[in-house]
């Protein structure tokens, strides 16, 4: 693989996509995962072991919660992320254990600090719409790179898309880079946030964009 995606998702939108036991989703961007492009489930014998990340637990619960299932004892989401993506990311020395993989993802999340950057740019959850170009401009200004932004397309009768996921791309040296494919790179796996029938796709630049503050 060539690059890593650090995916942040907006819990309110995730809950909107899926009618299950979402309770009081956090009102800040949380981690969805740290994904190498192109590879999945690289080592099926390397099982998730929650005791390896016990030192990270309070940060994991806060910044990488299982938004869809509110019980704090659930580790299913992390297990899934480790087995599907972590075992592939582990070819890098800085990510070659469960503790390093989850710890480094938390570190990158803190470093990017998406929540405060959006606030500083005056972009906050609201009932009025944003222009996608304004959101992109703010992010590019802060980070110097273009992230990949995913939305829930408008439902029937709606005119606006709903922002759901923002992915930052990193090189193997863990330096920020643009998410667009470079020459000679294939474009990686599409959004894997598919819940029920609804799924996220790359946001349209022309549709008004809703950044919801609570689950409708």
**Can you say how many angstroms the Cα of residue 112 is from the centroid of all Cα atoms in its chain?**
12
Model confidence pLDDT, tens digit, residues 59-106: 999 999 999 887 767 899 999 999 999 999 999 999 999 999 999 999
pLDDT at residue 69, rounded to an integer = 80
Cα–Cα dist 200/192, whole Å: 8
Q: What is the pLDDT of residue 40?
A: 92
Whole-number pLDDT of residue 175: 97
What Rg, from alpha-carbon coordinates, does the chain have?
17
Active site residue 155: no
Check 9, 83, 85, 167 and give the catalytic one.
85
The H or E element containing residue 72 is none
pLDDT the model gives residue 121: 94
Which pLDDT belongs to residue 16?
Answer: 84
pLDDT in tens, 4-14: 999 999 999 99
- Residue that is written with structure tokens 């989703």 in the block: 25
Q: What angle do CA 102, 109, 114 make, to 5 degrees?
A: 160
Q: Positive or negative CA dihedral for 65, 193, 207, 186?
A: positive
Residue segments in the chain with a per-residue pLDDT below the cut of 50: 188-192, 195
Choice among 81, 107, 167, 192 that is catalytic: 81
What CATH homologous superfamily does 4-211 map to? Ribonuclease T2-like (3.90.730.10)
Can you give the pLDDT at residue 191?
A: 44
Q: From CA 127, how far away is CA 115, in angstroms rounded?
A: 18
DSSP 61: H
How many Cβ atoms sit within 10 Å of the Cβ of residue 205?
12
User: Which among 9, 32, 83, 167 is annotated as catalytic?
Assistant: 32
Task: Confirm whether 192 is a catalytic residue.
Answer: no
All residues at 6 or more sequence positions from 186 whose CB lies less than 8 Å from its CB, including other chains: 38
Nearest by Cα to 178 from 167, 186, 188: 167
């Amino acid at each position: 693989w060539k690059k890593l995606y650090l995916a942040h998702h907006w819990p309110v939108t995730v809950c909107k996509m899926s009618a299950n036991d979402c309770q009081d989703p956090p009102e800040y961007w949380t981690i969805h995962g740290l994904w190498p492009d192109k590879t999945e489930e690289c080592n099926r014998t390397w099982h998730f072991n929650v005791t390896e990340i016990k030192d990270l637990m309070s940060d994991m619960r806060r910044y990488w919660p299982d938004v869809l299932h509110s019980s704090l004892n659930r580790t299913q989401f992390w297990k899934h992320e480790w087995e599907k993506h972590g075992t592939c990311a582990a070819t890098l020395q800085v990510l070659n254990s469960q503790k390093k993989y989850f710890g480094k993802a938390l570190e990158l999340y803190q470093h990017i600090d998406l929540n405060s950057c959006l606030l500083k740019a005056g972009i906050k959850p609201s009932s009025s719409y944003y222009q996608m170009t304004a959101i992109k401009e703010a992010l590019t200004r802060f980070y110097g790179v273009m992230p990949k932004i995913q939305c829930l397309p408008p439902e029937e009768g709606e005119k606006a898309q709903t922002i759901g996921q923002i992915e930052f791309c990193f090189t193997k040296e863990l330096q920020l880079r643009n998410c667009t494919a470079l020459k000679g790179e294939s474009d990686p796996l599409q959004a894997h946030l598919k819940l029920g029938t609804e799924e996220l796709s790359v946001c349209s630049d022309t549709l008004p964009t809703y950044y919801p503050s609570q689950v409708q």
